[in-house]
Amino acid sequence: MISCIVIDDEPLALKQMAAYIDKTPFLSMMGQFESAIRAIDFFQENEVDLMFVDINMPDLNGMDFVKSLKNPPSVIFTTAYSEYAIEGFRVDAIDYLLKPIGYPDFLKAAERAKSRINPKIAEKTQIDSNEKFLFIKSDYKMLRINLADIKYIESMREYLRIHIENQPPAMTLMSMKKMEEYLPKEIFMRVHRSFIVNLNKITTIERSRIVFDKDVYIPVSEQYKLNFQKYLDDNFLV
């Protein structure tokens, strides 16, 4: 998880950036400040991996603030004025976001920061789990999901949709591969590039398709058919 702060003298911009951080699974908000001077006090006792800093602020602008720090964290500048871009890169800024900032641009910059700050952080927990449950970040909340309640997981490009027994599906920003690594392999199996199933929830198989809820048919693709067939053979009563 990448720890970060936001510095912006505009309350609405500060609120928007905080919401974007909360929405992004690999970012963790450590503080938000309406002036760079207030952030100086924070740095006397705290460290963060990344900061989003507005350039145009009264008293102490963002560029001068970054230059004043002896060991500054990685920085992404935000501003309404494009002429600061070159100067921003001179202080080794990871990126430069021009207001108004949309979430797709924010996410691209955050991904760039993730890659640069630390490869280990880049692969670190978007999800916390143990043998009984996991926590995922969904929208603006952390959700606890019992593994026994998961029926199957469906890939939706960058997102995963987790289908849960007697609950609405939960969406989270995560790769299928990363989710597969976290789930216990004795319970969950990937049967298709777009599906992971809970083996304990399978009751009907029809023509190489797993049937859930009578009207949901999950295909078993050729790539995963051998593993799935072995599971069936090991549990088939002759």
The domain that holds 212 is classified in CATH as: 2.40.50.1020
pTM over 0.75: no
100 with 159, same domain: the answer is no
pLDDT of residue 118: 63
User: Of 101, 122, 143, which residue sits at a domain end?
Assistant: 122
CA distance 138 to 30: 19
163 with 222, same domain: the answer is yes
112 with 172, same domain: the answer is no
pLDDT digits (tens, 9 = 90+) for 150-170: 999 999 877 899 999 999 999
Question: Which residues of the chain have a pLDDT value below 50?
Answer: 85-86, 88-89, 120-126
Angle subtended by helix axes 11-23 and 103-117, to nearest 10: 60
pLDDT digits (tens, 9 = 90+) for 14-57: 999 999 998 898 888 989 999 998 888 888 778 889 999 998 88
User: Of 98, 122, 146, which residue sits at a domain end?
Assistant: 122
90-99 long-range contacts, CB within 8 A, separation 24+: 91/63, 91/66, 91/67, 93/66, 94/50, 97/52, 99/13
Q: Please give the residue range of the domain that contains residue 155.
A: 128-234
User: Of 122, 138, 161, which residue sits at a domain end?
Assistant: 122
CA distance 184 to 166: 22
Parallel/antiparallel/unpaired status of strands 209-212 and 216-219: antiparallel
pLDDT of residue 86: 47
114 with 159, same domain: the answer is no
Cα-based angle 210, 216, 222 (whole degrees, multiple of 5): 40
224 with 145, same domain: the answer is yes
Q: Which of 202, 113, 115 is nearest to 150 (CA)?
A: 202
Report whether the peptide linkage leading into residue 219 is cis, meaning its omega lies within 30 degrees of zero.
Answer: no
